[in-house]
Amino acid sequence: MRARLTTAAWLALASFCLPPAAHGVEEGPQRRVDSGLIRGSVDHGVAAFKGVPYAAPPTGLLRWRLPAPLPSWDDVRPARAFGPACPQPKVPPPVGVEGATSEDCLTLNIWQPLAADSKLPVMVWIHGGGFVLGAGSQALYAGAELARRGVVVVTFNYRLGALGFLSHPALSREQAGSPLGNYGLLDQIAALQWVRRNIASFGGDPANVTIFGESAGGIAVQALMASPLAAGLFHKAISQSGGGTAAFLQVDGDHRSAEEFGNAWAALATAGCGPEVGLLLQKSFTLAFSATEDGFAAPGNPVVSAETLRGLPLEKVMACPFSSFPTIDGHALRRSPGDSFGRGEQARVPFLVGANSFEASLAVTSDALARATLGSRYDGLLGAYAARAGLPQAAQDVLRGELFFVQPARFLARRQAALGAPTFLYYFDHVAASRRADTPGAPHGGEIQYLFRTPDAFKVAWDAADQHVFDTMAGYWVRFASTGDPNGEGAPRWDAVSGSSEAFLRLGTAPKMVRPDPLDDRMFAAAIEAATATWRGRR
């Protein structure tokens, strides 16, 4: 996908300066990509290439525009250090990032087995962080251990917050006929296009690409499966703790709620922000999960111009918090992902999906939000969970996890299997050794350390059971990326979802297949009924 740029925008690109090649440094693996030569390093026994740009810096006149083509370079470009993360709020690791941030952040990182054969499976990770935090460079996503299992691993940055997902009337007029508002999602598509063009240079097979991500990254996987612009760019998909029932705001049609929200935010940002932004964010998030009244426009609220927006200092943009989600723009997305799955419009690819046993650790999915989503059904369901024997968590926590993550994952699995695509559903239930005494279940994001083998990033200690879970989980994921089937190598059997069975794999120290019970079915029906009302109410 190429951006249509004005002459002024191309002049802005001309001022883009690439860092020179390191003088006197010749060691390290070298690869050719379509913009020039890069030289990487050896990282934990694999070849690593870090901070490789995949699109032009989205700065100046390219702020709030589609990702633009990348100028080429003549010298060998060093690819030994991660690029800066995209601008985001200051939050400590592991959720937040360490090091520099910059609008010049559209880079990716590749880990390749040293003795690589050609045409290895490719696994492209999409980081989480609520579409406002995170980077492909975070320590918890280090790709060396997965690459050592015989795959090429790619992580990348994409624009976040308002810089990545602002929909606005002035920007819509300026970019009419193009995708709107989904700049961060379009960055993801640009990164996948880069992978298709270049991954063979790293031993990867461009015809065997798996996208996988957690939380916002899991939502992004669903959005890419639903996006016509991403068709053909990947061949398998894994969505971890990405829910599946959220309703995105709209840029297209008669209900332009995303633009109303964007202009209300822009008015606050240009004025220096203020306490009103808290109510705006709360309403935006509530609208994503419950069928409440739509709309953000205030009478007489002037439309901020595109020139004013692009002239905002980065400090002003970042000083005003922004509620980030992709938007329905009629180009990149025609519906919310769950709605597309419900209609059978998503990519027909092998699919692996699931959630964790303590998703309620993500506090933003609050009890108040659960009540707003379920309405009159809330009290009865809460009572049923309270009566369920053997719960290690409060009933409210179990309800929130089931409502926002576990049963939506089951819905996506059911709808993907209905297309005839191999589909596998999991429920992750394991806690690291040093946290078992104070954590009632696997928290939101708790499975990531067992995929990348990065306990240090979470500041936890492992025992032999944790190592076993890593070996089991990473094996399942790599086999799925290789063949579309996670089974093999003596691992416990993982049955696919089918029309006659929605059994799921309870993934922990002793994986086993489990069937949903009547309370699961009851919550499933309530969650999908609420989501369907919200989706249909937006169209």
Give the 3-state secondary structure of 173-219: HHCCCCCCCCHHHHHHHHHHHHHHHHHHHHCEEEEEEEEEEECHHHH
Q: What is the pLDDT of residue 390?
A: 83
Which helix H or strand E contains 33, and what residues bound it?
Answer: strand 30-33
| Residue 433 pLDDT | 98
Quick one: pLDDT at residue 293? 57
- Rounded to an integer, what distance in angstroms lies between the CA atom of residue 251 and that of residue 256? 5
Using the 8-state DSSP alphabet, how is residue 359 labeled? Answer: G
* Predicted pLDDT at 24: 38
Work out whether the CA dihedral 192, 221, 127, 436 comes out positive or negative. Answer: negative
For residue 196, what pLDDT is reported? 98
pLDDT confidence of residue 8:
37
Each residue's pLDDT tens digit, 91-109:
999 999 999 999 999 999 9
Hey, where are the domains in the chain? 1-11+27-248+327-539, 257-319
CA 283 to CA 305: how far, in whole Å?
A: 24
Three-class DSSP labels, 382-427: HHHHHHCCCCCCCHHHHHHHHHHHHHHHHHHHHHHHHCCCCEEEEE
Report pLDDT for 6. 38
Give the neighbor-by-neighbor strand order of the sheet with 77-78.
30-33, 36-39, 77-78
Q: One of 127, 331, 430, 444 is an active-site residue; which one?
A: 444
CB half-sphere exposure, 141, CA atoms < 13 A: 32
* Active-site residue, selected from the candidate residues 215, 323, 357, 482: 215
Q: What is the DSSP string of 243-307?
A: -S-----BSSSS--HHHHHHHHHHHHHHTT--THHHHHHHHHHHHTTS------PPTT-PPPPHH
The whole-number pLDDT of residue 536 equals 78
pLDDT for the residue numbered 298: 55
Whole-model pTM: value is: 0.93
Mean pLDDT by 10 residues, the chain (539 residues): 38 35 62 98 94 97 96 96 97 93 98 85 98 97 96 98 96 94 98 98 97 98 98 98 94 83 91 86 81 60 89 94 93 96 98 98 92 95 92 93 98 98 98 96 97 96 98 98 97 95 96 97 96 79
The answer to whether residue 259 is catalytic is no
Domain 1-11+27-248+327-539 CATH class label = alpha beta
- CA-to-CA dists, residue 100 to 54, 134, 159, angstroms: 19, 12, 15
Q: For the segment 239-248, what is each residue's pLDDT rounded down to a tens digit? A: 999 999 999 9
Among residues 174, 359, 447, 502, which one is catalytic? 359
Catalytic annotation present for 215: yes
461: three-class secondary structure by DSSP: coil
Question: Does residue 444 have an active-site annotation?
Answer: yes
